[in-house]
Structure formats: C-alpha cells, structure tokens
Amino acid sequence: MIPGSSRFRGFFCFGDIRQSVRRMEDVMEITVNGERKTVGSASILGLLRELDIDPGRVAVELNMEILPKSNYETTGLNDGDRIEIVHFVGGG
Amino acid sequence: MFSEDQIERYSRHIILKEVGGKGQRKLLDGSVLIIGAGGLGSPAALYLAAAGVGTVGIADADVVAVSNLQRQVIHHTPDLGKPKVESAREKMEAINPDVKVVTYKSWVRADNIAGIIEGYDFVIDGTDNFAAKFLINDACVLAGKPYSHGGILHFIGQTMTVLPGESPCYRCIFPNPPPPGAIPTCAQAGVLGVLPGTIGTIQATEAIKFLLGVGKLLTGRLLMYDAEGMDFYASPIARNRRCPICGENPTITALHDEEGAMNACDLG
C-alpha cells in the first residue's frame, strides 16, 4: 500500500483507532503523505504502529529529513509535522 | 542532417517546440542504458527506440520464460527460451533502424557495472531485486551518472530520477536494503501486468527529457502509483546529509554487492 493513497486514507476509518484517538487529550494534527491527519501517537514508531505499517518495510521523512530507523522510537511528533512514509518496492 | 525518412518518422517530435530538429538530433546523438529487460525495461526500450534515441544499451542475463509474457511486452511467445537482450534487440531494431542496440547478456555486479554504464548519458533501473537496485544507485552516484530508479510490486509502483550530487539518491531514502524476507517477492505477491507499463514509460519519459534538456525531472520526489486506487502521489524528498554514499561523511566509497538483498520479484 502507498501511504497517502486512497488505500492509505482508509486507515483512519478503523473504529479502534478512532476511539483511541478520541480518548487521547493530546491529539495532534499532522500531514502524512500530503494528507492532514489527527493522530494520538507520541512517536514515529507509535505512528507507524497506529497505521499498521511494518517499520522494516518503509523509510520515514520528518519535515524533509529522512530519519534513521534507530530514531523512530525516540523521535516525538509535534503538531503540524509533515511526514512522508515511503515503502520499499523492489520488483521490476 | 536528417534523411527524408527521418523527417517523416520524427515529424510529430520535430513539430513540438520543445523538441524540434535540434531536440531530435539530441535524441539521435544520445545514449541510454536499460538494466533489466523485464517489466520495466520492456516499455522503456520500446519507447526509446521509437523516439530515436541513437544508442540503447540493454543488460540482462536471463532468457524469456512464459511467466514473463503477462507484462514484459517486448518479448513475444515465439521468443520463449531466447536471451532477453536478443529478443529486445530484435524488437527495437524492427521499430527503428536508426537505433544502435548494444546488448550485455550479464547480470550487473560490483565488478562489471562501472564498465557497463560508462559512456551512457542516462541509466534506467529496470531490475527486479534490491541487490541490483542498490548497486545501480551506488555505481551511478560514484560515476556521477543520472539515472531513473523504478520499482513495482502487486498494484504499486514507484520511481524517482537521481542527478548525483544535485538531488537525493536511493540511499538518501533507504540507506540499506530491507531485511531479508521483509518484502514479499512478485512471485509471492504477484504483480498487475500493466503496472510496469506505467512506471517503465515514466522512466523512459525522464530519459528523453534529460536528453532533450527540457522540463522538470522527477528529482527530489519519489513518485508512488497505486493502480488499485488509481492514485499518484509524489513524496518530496530532500538530500540526506547522513546518506552513506552521497552524504557529508560517506561510508561507501567503492562498489560492493549487497549480499543477502534477496531477489524481490523473481521475474525470470
């Protein structure tokens, strides 16, 4: 799946995510692959989990800076962050 | 100068103000190497030949298998068992006798790729595995060779053009290949046959624009295509100062094979 694609946009329709976001007092509005999203995760790793994305299959760019995988857990999210999530696609 | 046949053959190019006679001459004087004569390489080779790119190199060690024919449109049923580069050469020469086709019946490796890409103006990555994709990136970055990355799987395609030293490279995004087994292969996940037609044609478009020197290349943007949702999205990508090959302190200064970067898409 491509984050940002129509398929990706469906992720936030999942009932359990919507409920967990509603319960969070500290929700943030960020942009993921050009789409504005309201999320409850505190870190990049948490965001990937919220989106059901395997960190081993993607690269993540936060505000135009590619993040080392080792920083996914320690990198926090802030309101207004712009995130790009891109997948490995190796076929030809 | 153009022959009468060439003026007629390329008339729809020549009439374009962005191409004209001068642009067509650039194409005829230009050279593009396609690595991989499979799903991505097929449309790229056909369109580059039709466009009158003067020299088209094509590298692949494989022979045509029946499971290729669902998407590798340069190969036809009578070509089964034939080396892919020979099958591709025949079609390109049949389309356009102006094109000089150079074949490399070989896989690219750390010990041969520099010699293969040398002399070409632009390289198209049409390979089906991460080892080759990282090697092509490294070889093109170290040689300062512009190239187009492409990948396909399932209903998803991606492509980005790399101008080494100017725009982000593949390792700027993905410093290392994915862990073995993390990404399913095309043999496992399947691939929509028409998908490489879209991505390979975009790669050929980039090669032609580069040769012509017109337009805006797909640099600093990883274009992602979801055929199922019919959605295109270009992720803006910046150069990565930590990039292991084009960053501030590169750790890759010589070519190496990415052992263990398994075949991603056993396209045969």
- A87 and B186: CB-CB below 8 Å? no
pLDDT, tens digit, for every residue of A38-80?
Answer: 999 999 999 999 999 999 999 999 999 999 999 999 999 999 9
B41 has a chain A CB within 8 A of its CB: yes
- State the ipTM, two decimals: 0.92
CB B137 within 8 A of CB B162: yes
Residue ranges of chain A whose CB lies within 8 Å of a chain B CB? 1-2, 4-7, 33-34, 54, 56-57, 59, 61, 64-66, 68, 84, 86-92
The mean per-residue pLDDT over the stretch A1-13 comes to 44
The kind and range of the H/E element at B46 are: helix B41-51
Cβ neighbours for B57, distance < 8 A, ≥ 6 positions apart: B31, B32, B33, B34, B101, B102, B103, B104, B116, B120
A-facing residues of B in 187-226 (CB < 8 A) are 191, 196, 222, 224-226
User: What mean pLDDT comes out for the span A6-13?
Assistant: 41
Query: How does DSSP assign B167-218, residue by residue?
Result: S--HHHH-SSPPPTTSS--HHHH-B-TTHHHHHHHHHHHHHHHHHHT-S--S
How far is it, in rounded angstroms, from Cα B153 to Cα B228? 12
Contacts of B92 (CB under 8 A, 6+ apart): B45, B46, B48, B49, B56, B58, B74, B99, B101
Supply the DSSP string of B12-44, one letter for each residue: HHHTSTTTHHHHHHHHHH-EEEEE--STTHHHH
In single-letter form, the type of residue at position A40 comes to G
Q: Would you mind telling me the total number of residues written for chain B in this entry?
A: 268
Contact B70, B82 (CB under 8 A): no
Segment 46-85 of chain B within 8 Å of chain A by CB: none
Determine the Cα–Cα distance for residues B126 and B199; give it in Å rounded to an integer.
10
* pTM for the model: 0.91
Question: Which tokens sit at B91?
Answer: 């079609």
Residue B33: name the closest of B23, B48, B22 by CA. Answer: B48
Two structure tokens written together for A49: 């989990």
Split chain B (268 residues) into runs of 10 and give each run's mean pLDDT: 97 98 98 98 98 98 98 98 98 98 98 98 97 98 98 97 98 94 80 98 99 98 98 98 98 92 50
Q: From CA A58, how far away is CA A84, in angstroms rounded?
A: 10
**Site from B40, B160, B233, B262 to mutate, A interface, most A CB atoms within 10 angstroms:** B233
Minimum distance, in Å, between the CA of residue B176 and any CA atom of chain A = 10
Q: Minimal CA–CA distance to B150: which of B123, B176, B177, B184?
A: B123
* For residue A6, pLDDT beyond 50: no
- Whose CA is closest to A35, among A69, A6, A56? A6
pLDDT in tens, B66-108: 999 999 999 999 999 999 999 999 999 999 999 999 999 999 9
Take residue B144 and report the two structure tokens written for it. 């300062």
Confidence band for A20, pLDDT divided at 50, 70 and 90: very low
Torsion of CA B155, A62, B258, B167, to 10 degrees: 90
Q: What percent of chain A has pLDDT over 90?
A: 68
* Phi-psi region at B36: left, alpha or beta (left = phi > 0; alpha = psi -120 to 50): left
Reply yes or no on whether the pLDDT at A26 is more than 80: no
Q: Read off the pLDDT band of A2 (50, 70, 90).
A: low
* All domains in chain B, ordered by first residue: 4-150+192-217 (3.40.50.720)
Query: Looking up tokens 């398994």, which residue turns up?
Result: B262
**Exposure string for B118-151, b = 16+ CB within 10 A, e = fewer:** eebbbbbbbbbbbbbbbbbbbbbbbbebbbbbbb
> Would you say residue A15 has pLDDT above 50?
no
pLDDT of residue A13: 38
Q: Which residues of B touch A61 (CB under 8 A)?
A: 173, 235, 237-238
